Chains A and B, each alone.
Chain A
């Protein structure tokens, strides 16, 4: 059920400000792709344009082409709401719905869309999603407690469970571990390893060891200066990017952090 993504010559704007320019990159199905690069180079912006979350911001727009399994994502007849059901997203800061319990949070994607669920079906979805998110054992006794009563790492895994409960085909993650401790981070990295079997995963990270650990492909973004648009500098197999990058900027960035 995973889908591939093909981006060609994509420009992304906030109003008149060109934030990201000329991105062309193929993203294979059932793989993990990591985006790395300095702060402000447009990783989040690009990631959000992949499930049309970008246009939620007033004045934001894109030019160029994104194909999902060959279908144009920005075709005028495509409903962005439908797109987001199929391309899930996990945010930097865990954001469970404070008015809902843990179980309700997992079911939020369905409940909010008024899908009728039988009770057994609902509890099946809750259990399987939480299991896949490696959270089931920790919360199975308190499913009716508010989602915000969990620790930060647990909340983030709850958000992942919530995202995979609607069975998306692609999972976008924007620095999912940046607010977490090393143990929770490991749990989520393990999770990404397992999820790769079924999903196309794109992950933004500032942690290069993490990129090296979880991804098959790495893409490096950079920007020439403040107020200038971000560019995709190069992408390729993770091992190659981290050992023999072609572009000196990539080399500098990686060695700067590793060295």
Chain B
């Protein structure tokens, strides 16, 4: 890139000459990468540096050399651009490292624990080896289903209210409060459920249904938001087309607007379920922990997967390695469930969105 604006050049030949500012050949960065890798291997194998140190050092070396060379050949501005590009790319890699290492840890530590008895037995009378997540799977299923059962109708209806009917003070308040709800820390939702249930059931209450209430507090705003967003995407023209056919407003909403937006809404709901299914803190407060199967959400403690992981880690039993292994095994199961839900959500929005105008 020219350091002076080309217009200040007096003659035409010089102007064209200026269009070819010095530029690093394309292979230079790649050659530098190769060099850095080679130096890194040497440092690691021959000098005996640890992996982490080697990688950090080589990366630093790569960036410094690249910027220096670029500054020499291409000028300061280009060098800065290259520096920024390197940093931004680094940030991206840096963000993905934890994800990769985390998934790897979960799979490699969790896989050995998984077998049919792990999935089919509870922790009743288990001290060391054995035991499983049967009771926790059921607990998670029951609590999450109840939460979904409460949140979906309320969230959906509120979203409809806000987009189709809401104007005026009440709608503004609800919008504001949904924002507030989005920010409620999950542990506070658990405390809320406890504070509510303690009034009816007395001190120390633990109950699966309470967990469902706590999760609903977290889930409702997610459902409202995604419903709102999807309904707003439905073009007004469709509503008007329906009104013009003499269709009442509520039927227009139920039969035209909702079907058009339904794929997006279901995607949002699925993601919301995936979000709350991994919640630990509120369930620890109000569902508590237990070693036995409990199918009744209105009576007593109920184990759930996240709390199971936490309590296996906290009280691994004796000898402790079995408890830790069970924690990883349950973590793998929970991760698979959450990822599967996310995948399903993607697929729904990909395949079932209405094909609107070309």
Contact = CB atoms under 8 A, between A and B. Distances in A.
A206 interface: no
Contacts of B239: 56
Instruction: Report the interface size class on chain A.
Output: 20 to 34
Contacts of B237: 91, 93, 95
B244 A98 contact: no
B243 interface: yes
A133 to B, nearest CB: 15
A183 interface: no
A159 B241 CA distance: 9
Contacts of A83: 246
Contact of B246 (A93, A109, A149, A155): A109
A85 interface: yes
Interface string A99-112: 10000000011011
B245 interface: yes
Given A108-B242, A112-B255, A148-B357, A95 B235 contact: yes
Contacts of A88: 244-245
Contacts of B204: none
Interface of A: 51, 53, 56, 58, 81-86, 88-89, 91, 93, 95-99, 108-109, 111-114, 146, 148-149, 155, 159, 162-163, 166
Interface in B321-358: 354-358
B245 A98 contact: no
Contacts of A99: 256, 259-260, 354
Interface string B36-60: 0000000000000000000000000
A76 B239 CA distance: 24
Interface residues of B, number: 25
A149 B251 CA distance: 25
B2 interface: no
B247 interface: yes
Interface in B228-270: 235, 237-248, 251-252, 255-256, 259-260
26 contacts: A53-B240, A82-B246, A84-B244, A84-B246, A91-B244, A93-B237, A95-B238, A95-B240, A95-B241, A98-B355, A98-B357, A99-B256, A99-B259, A109-B245, A111-B255, A112-B245, A113-B246, A113-B247, A146-B354, A148-B354, A148-B355, A148-B358, A159-B241, A162-B245, A163-B245, A166-B245
The list of the 7 closest CB pairs from A to B, nearest first, reads A85-B246, A89-B244, A109-B245, A98-B354, A95-B237, A84-B246, A112-B247
Contacts of A114: 251
